[in-house]
Amino acid sequence: MALKQILAGLAIVAAVTTIGALAFTVRSRDNTIASLRRALEDEGKNPDSINVPPRVYEPVTVNHFYERRGHKILLSDDTFGQIWLPVLADVPLSEHLLDKMVETDRGRMLSFDDAGNLNALTGADLSEFNNVTDWAALKEDGIDFVMLRLGYRGYGIGTGKLKKDSRFQEYYRCAKEAGLLVGAYFFSQAISEEEAVEEAILAAQMLEGCELDFPVAYDWEIIFHDSEARTDNVPVDVLTDCSIAFCQNIESYGYRSMIYQNKRTTLFKLDMPRLTDYPFWLAEYGDGPTFIYNYDMWQYSCTGQVNGIEGNVDLNLCFKDFSKEGDPIISLPAPAYTPKSEAETTEPQTDETEPDDAEDDETENEAESPDENAGGEQLSEDDAE
């Protein structure tokens, strides 16, 4: 009983103390406010007549945090519709002037610099599936260089065998005799760095005794028309490692290296900041590349027509002369040409991005057999920025 009385007494004391503290606080606040009012009155001001200016609401300049000159990459997707990617700060942007690229009445693309000079060579890439009947006619038809396939790795599940291009040596000899500049490429389906090294070794064996003017390109492609291709789901870091492994190994044999790729696979599957030391060969079909980053060669068509070649052929523009020391930029007198007429020009789309056309993502099927599928040439991307 005594304990309860003691506790009750302590509670009363605490309550009184708290009330006293609150009263002191209020009195202190009142004293402070009263002191302030007296000070204002002493200065001859009426505290009740002080006008507080209304807050002004005006828009401010918005910082959108776009580095790289305000660019962002717009693509289209079946699920999300329009999607965007940030522009990488450590990858050089394209310096090619799209308004200086023109299509001729023959479907050839030409590119000019600000002074009106031609700033790109015209080339074709060839494999055993292209039948060249007259190399002199090819040269006379405005082809400056050729990129010849050395070999390929099959893409079928359970295969992945390495194959040599049966016409490389023949085409190399004929191209040189016709006075054409010559480069090469290897069609890769590597799924590991070790396989990319194997491909580089085979490419070097095929090149033994050859003197190239242009680099050897690493052409790794996704096979869209085969749902069980061995390269499905290759991780980004693995593909980038394969690219570097091929290029470094081919360079160890004394040849220049280059990376070939289409727009979307480059954006989605390559760690581009790791690959800026290598020239880039872009595959994107149309009347002008929408690829935002820099490229040294542009494959713009798979349906080109060239005298001396039967059927369709891939056509390219190259903006550097790799046959000369320092890889100088091309600068040649402007040729006479007939622009493509307005009636033949395709009407441009009005959407911000073009539709995702599956046909433009598929590869051209170069060869198939019951036990081995060979790769084809990667078609372009059709997305707009």
**pLDDT score recorded for residue 305:** 96
**Residues 6 or more apart from 19 whose CB is under 8 A from it?**
none
Alpha-carbon 230 to chain mean position? 23
239 secondary structure, DSSP code: H
Report whether pLDDT(69) > 80: no
Helical H segments across 253-351, by residue range = 263-269
Say yes or no to pLDDT of 357 above 60. Answer: no
- 217 forms bridges with which residues in the sheet? 185, 258
Q: Please state, in angstroms and rounded to a whole number, the distance separating the CA atoms of residues 52 and 143.
A: 79
β-pairing verdict for 373-374 and 162-164? unpaired
- Helix 193-206 with 236-252: angle, nearest 10 deg: 30
Determine the Cα–Cα distance for residues 65 and 169; give it in Å rounded to an integer: 53
The residue among 92, 68, 72 whose CA lies nearest residue 273 is: 92
Q: Long-range contacts for 226-230 (Cβ within 8 Å, ≥24 apart)? A: 226/155, 226/156, 226/373, 228/156, 228/157, 229/155, 229/156, 229/157, 229/189, 230/155, 230/156, 230/157, 230/158, 230/159, 230/160, 230/189, 230/191
* pLDDT cut 70: percent of the chain above it: 73
Q: Answer yes or no: is pLDDT of 363 > 70.
A: no
> How many angstroms separate the Cα of 260 from the Cα of each of 188, 280, 295?
10, 6, 10
- pLDDT, residue 31, reads 64
pLDDT for the residue 287: 81
Q: Which of 298, 156, 169 is nearest to 226 (CA)?
A: 156
Nearest to 284 by CA among 101, 24, 132: 101
pLDDT of residue 68: 59
pLDDT band at 320 (very low <50, low <70, confident <90, very high): very high
pLDDT in tens, 1-11: 555 555 455 55
Strand spans (E) along the chain? 73-77, 81-85, 101-103, 109-111, 121-126, 131-132, 145-153, 162-164, 181-188, 216-220, 257-262, 280-283, 297-304, 309-310, 313-318, 367-368, 373-374
The two three-digit tokens of residue 128, written as one number: 């055993």
Residue 353 is predicted with a pLDDT of: 33
Residue carrying structure tokens 């191209």: 175
Q: Which two tokens stand for residue 35?
A: 């002191």
Task: Give the pLDDT of residue 109.
Answer: 96
Of 327, 323, 304, whose CA–CA distance to 314 is shortest? 304
Q: Are 40 and 33 in contact (CB under 8 A)?
A: no
Mean pLDDT of the chain: 82
Say whether pLDDT at 369 is over 80: no
Lowest model confidence (mean pLDDT) among 20-34, 50-64, 125-139: 20-34
CB 283 within 8 A of CB 297: no
Sequence-distant (6+) residues with CB within 8 A of 175 are: 135, 146, 148, 182
